[in-house]
Amino acid sequence: MQVEDLEFFGLDKKETQTYLSLLELGESNIERISNKSGVKRTTLYDVIASLRRKSLVGITVRKNKKYYYAEDPRKLEDQLEERKAKLNTILPELLSIANFIDKKPKIRYFEGIEGIKEVYRDTLNYPKTETLAWVSVDAVNHFDIDWLWNFYVLKRAENKIWQRSIAPDVDYMKNVKTHDQKHLRQTRLISPEKFPFEVEINLYGNGSIGIMSFKEQIGMIIESKKIYNTLKSIFELNWQSLAKTTDEPRKTYLA
């Protein structure tokens, strides 16, 4: 048996060595236990006292001498059952407390081009919804642009996921905008000099935020309703402040 097997039950290394030694020795005195377990006598008294509190070691006295013995190993099972029963008793209260506490945002971190693709793929899990995006043109030089247009964008449209995009007013994005109708997208352009976008941010799934830094080759997914709602309000403010164009397509998938 490995020492780690008993450490699982809450025993430290010295407690485990002492208990296993007593199982082999049977009723024994401090000196023999120390020799068998390798635990120093000066330490052994505290170790045995701890094992006694855990009901794993008993004591008997004969002719004014103390002898120690290991309790039935099945007591370990009894202790687990007691702990489980106690947990079942307090679990409803713990859950009720948890319901009143704001959950910490869940954050997933990804590296490399394949990692950034995972962020994009996650947005595809919410068909017939809307994605809001601040778009960065860094993807052109620092990402798999063929995958972006020939897989992701087509898959997004296939899943009826509409997108509203705020993008830099550059020739590349002007060309992208000409395909808005086909790609179920509305794009509004903004001055890259006044408002440079060094990362891309996608708001999706009514509570998820995807962040992609193409130059740094990192991506993140943050799951937080509060952060999502705040960023969505900022996006809507940006969106309304940009002049509407006459060639924006309608969200026909909602009809």
Determine the Cα–Cα distance for residues 206 and 204; give it in Å rounded to an integer: 5
Residues of the chain with CATH 1.10.10.10: 3-74
Tell me the pLDDT tens digit for each residue of 42-64: 889 998 998 888 888 888 888 88
**Residues listed for the chain:** 255
Q: What is the mean pLDDT of residues 26-53?
A: 89
Residue 23 pLDDT class (50, 70, 90 cuts) = confident
The topology (CATH level 3) of 3-74 is: Arc Repressor Mutant, subunit A (1.10.10)
pLDDT at 6: 60
Task: State the pLDDT at residue 203.
Answer: 97
Single out the residue of 83, 76, 52, 79 nearest to residue 66, CA to CA.
52
pLDDT in the model for residue 121: 96
CB 204 within 8 A of CB 129: yes
What number is the average pLDDT over the span 106-117?
94
Alpha helices in the chain (DSSP H): 3-7, 13-25, 30-37, 41-53, 74-98, 112-123, 139-142, 145-147, 153-158, 171-177, 225-241
Nearest to 211 by CA among 134, 146, 104: 134
pLDDT digits (tens, 9 = 90+) for 3-19: 555 655 677 888 888 88
Tell me: pLDDT of 250 over 70: no
pLDDT grade, residue 112 (50/70/90)?
very high
Q: 162-175 pLDDT, tens per residue?
A: 999 999 999 999 99
What value does the mean pLDDT take over residues 18-37? 88
Tokens representing residue 143 in the block: 């990402």
Rounded CA-CA distance 214/13 in Å is: 49
Q: Is the pLDDT of residue 248 over 70?
A: no
Q: pLDDT tens digits for 194-240? A: 999 999 999 999 999 999 999 999 999 999 999 999 999 999 999 99
Interatomic CA distance for residues 93 and 65, integer angstroms: 48
CB crowding 219-240: b at 16 or more within 10 Å, else e? bbbbbbeeebeebeeebeeeee
Mean pLDDT, the chain, integer = 86
Which residues in the chain are classed under CATH 3.30.870.10?
106-254
- Strands in 200-204's sheet, in edge-to-edge order, are 106-111, 218-223, 208-213, 200-204, 130-134, 162-168, 185-190
Cα–Cα distance, 33 to 66 (Å, whole number): 12
What is the C-alpha separation between 149 and 174, in angstroms, rounded? 15
Asked if the model's pLDDT at residue 102 lies above 70, the reply is: no
CA distances to 22, 117, 158, 223 from 35, rounded to whole Å, are 11, 60, 73, 56
Select from 3.40.50.300, 1.25.40.10, 3.30.870.10, 3.30.379.10 the CATH code of 106-254.
3.30.870.10
Cα separation, 213 vs 233, in Å, equals 22
